[in-house]
Amino acid sequence: MKLLVTRPMTLRATAAIRAQFDATFRDNTPLTEAEAGQAMADHDVIIPTLGDAFTAGAFSGQSRCRLLANFGAGYNHIDIAAARAAGVTVTNTPDVVTDATADLALTLMLMVLRRASEGERLLRAGQWAGWNPTQLLGHEMSGRTVGIIGMGRIGKAIARRCHLGFGMDVAFFNRSIVSALDIPARQFEDLHQMLAASDVAVVAVPGGAETRGLIGTPELRALGSGSCLVNIARGDVVDEAALIKALRDGTIAGAGLDVYAREPHVPQELLEAPNATLLPHLGTATDETRTRMALRALENVLAFRAKQRPRDLVV
């Protein structure tokens, strides 16, 4: 079995993969559509990740590849319909990313509400003149309402952290009814009503066509001028142009973003927005989580090699 890993992995993950396969590891450059197509022509199995362009066009040529064991829970960089038509199995790594991503959501919430990134920029620029009673006044997390858009594994983990750690009220919007939560939470059937009830809205839905542009001008208006938006899902779930305008004109108070519509490109208007906290897609960026992701992808590859059903089958 000829295996390609499209990015470098942690030391522990690399050792585990090399113990099973004579694998090829690429550098940190994402695969273009043409490169993805060539990779499928040259390898039996590929461990791809975010940014690799496994589009419909990549599946149009002769394919030796029979498995894309995706490194990551999200797989919107893979055209699932094209993979299915080409007879290529796709797996992902869903539940090993939950805690790190939820922690990052809380990091962004705290940074936005306490205006931490504004304060750091002020200090680094040499503009801090000393403590004063009204400088960079933010807001406490405790006693406020968090509205979670998407109550899957990550959404539930965020909700627990917010309620148990900070005493926040939890509201949420989800496409299906969510029951048996272990904390008090109110589910809204209408997204706009949930946003209006929230002090901080956290986007935690899967990426893809169904959620692209979910948060636009009407939703930001519903969230309102005293509230903030945090996105740890996928960048294109939020209309970036609408968000930039909302930050500029005060439609919302601030935003904390870990993802962007055209990564690694970040619009200059966002870079210049004082009320935006921006991180470079750090959601799962811990050694422990990235190792677990790679080992889970490897587990799926080994099951496939043994002609067993992979644990995390997507298609």
Is the Cβ–Cβ distance between 195 and 169 less than 8 Å? no
Burial class (CB in 10 A: 0-12, 13-18, 19+), 24: middle
Set 234, 290, 292, 296: catalytic member: 234
Is the Cβ–Cβ distance between 130 and 119 less than 8 Å? no
Q: pLDDT at position 17, please?
A: 98
* Token duo for residue 152: 């899957």
The yes-or-no answer to whether 3-96+286-305 and 98-278 have a common fold is yes
Q: pLDDT at position 62, please?
A: 80
Q: Is the pLDDT of residue 63 over 90?
A: no
Q: Is the pLDDT of residue 61 over 90?
A: no
Q: Is the pLDDT of residue 270 over 90?
A: yes
Please report the beta strands in the chain, taking only residues with DSSP state E, as ranges in sequence order.
Answer: 3-5, 24-25, 45-47, 67-69, 89-91, 145-149, 169-173, 186-188, 200-203, 228-231, 254-257, 276-278
**Stretch 286-301: mean pLDDT:** 98
The verdict on whether 118 is a catalytic residue reads no
Per CATH, the homologous superfamily of domain 98-278 is NAD(P)-binding Rossmann-like Domain (3.40.50.720)
Q: Is the pLDDT of residue 180 over 90?
A: no
The terminus-to-terminus CA distance of the chain in angstroms comes to 20
Q: pLDDT at position 208, please?
A: 87
What is the rounded CA–CA span in Å between residue 223 and residue 201?
A: 8
Set 18, 192, 212, 281: catalytic member: 281
Report pLDDT digits (tens) over 28-58.
Answer: 999 999 999 999 999 999 999 999 999 999 9
Work out the pLDDT band at 225, boundaries 50, 70, 90.
Answer: very high
Set 33, 35, 263, 299: catalytic member: 263
**Stretch 93-107: mean pLDDT:** 97
CATH class of 3-96+286-305: alpha beta
Q: pLDDT at position 26, please?
A: 98
Q: In terms of residues, how long is the chain?
A: 315
Q: Is the pLDDT of residue 113 over 90?
A: yes
Domain ranges of the chain: 3-96+286-305, 98-278
Q: pLDDT at position 125, please?
A: 97
The verdict on whether 281 is a catalytic residue reads yes
Mean pLDDT of the chain: 97
Query: Residue 71 forms beta bridges with which residues?
Result: 49
